[in-house]
């Protein structure tokens, strides 16, 4: 197949089931021997680190929930085959009963660039704390004390927590790992 007719399309899928739908599409294409017409099926994701119970947890988060990118030559029955896959709602940008609309080159580059950038990007941390929140110190000399978050320094991944010691407020600089939320 000539690459000139390969274009990127966006398939709308049921939110939260993107990877499952991607697998269904790939299996269906392989089963019907249409691999020549589909170059790749992609679920754009980003790596996010969440901190739970003082532990880092790496997670892949879907960057565009409910959407799957597909590079293909949508000719003949292929659009109907993809639309009939379980979990697929349809193609993005199609008019009722019309043909699927391919993405512009600039859109593809922006989306793929974003995916690459997020894959390379140094650990993107979801900050689980907010200013004014009360937290419990779980590590260090002030273990067991409760305090209020005064400042959040994202670059250093530190919190400034105001703790009452002997009736006086004292600021402490602690890492995210040294505190936990009070539920």
Place of tokens 């991607």: 22
Q: What is the pLDDT along the chain (183 residues), one digit of tens a residue?
A: 444 478 999 999 998 899 999 999 999 999 999 989 999 999 988 777 777 777 778 888 888 889 999 999 988 888 889 999 999 998 887 666 667 888 888 888 777 776 555 555 555 556 678 899 999 998 888 899 999 999 988 878 889 999 998 889 999 999 888 888 886
Q: pTM for the whole thing? A: 0.58
Domains by residue range for the chain, with CATH:
3-125 (3.30.70.940), 134-181 (2.30.30.30)
Spatial distance between the Cα atoms of 61 and 64, rounded to a whole number of angstroms: 9
* Residue 19 near residue 11 (C-beta atoms within 8 A): no
d(CA 39, CA 100): 17
Spatial CA neighbour of 60 closest among 19, 12, 25, 8 = 19
Residue 168 φ/ψ region, left for φ over 0, alpha for ψ in the -120 to 50 degree band, beta for the rest:
beta
DSSP letter at 85? S
């Amino acid at each position: 197949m000539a690459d000139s007719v390969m274009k990127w399309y966006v398939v709308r899928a049921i939110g939260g089931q993107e990877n499952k739908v991607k697998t269904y599409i790939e299996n269906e294409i392989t089963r019907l021997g249409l691999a020549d017409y589909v170059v790749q099926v992609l679920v754009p994701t980003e790596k996010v680190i969440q901190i739970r119970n003082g532990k880092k947890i790496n997670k892949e988060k879907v960057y565009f929930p409910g959407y799957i990118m597909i590079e293909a030559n949508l000719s003949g029955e292929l659009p109907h085959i993809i639309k009939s896959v379980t979990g697929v709602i349809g193609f993005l940008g199609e008019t009722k009963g019309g043909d699927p609309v391919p993405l512009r080159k600039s859109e593809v580059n922006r989306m793929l660039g974003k995916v690459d950038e997020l894959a390379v990007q140094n650990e993107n941390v979801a900050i689980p704390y907010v200013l004014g929140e009360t937290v419990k110190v779980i590590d260090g000399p002030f273990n067991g004390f409760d305090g209020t978050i005064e400042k959040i320094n994202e670059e250093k991944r530190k919190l400034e927590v105001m703790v009452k010691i002997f009736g006086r407020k004292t600021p402490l600089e602690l890492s995210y790992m040294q505190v936990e939320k009070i539920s």
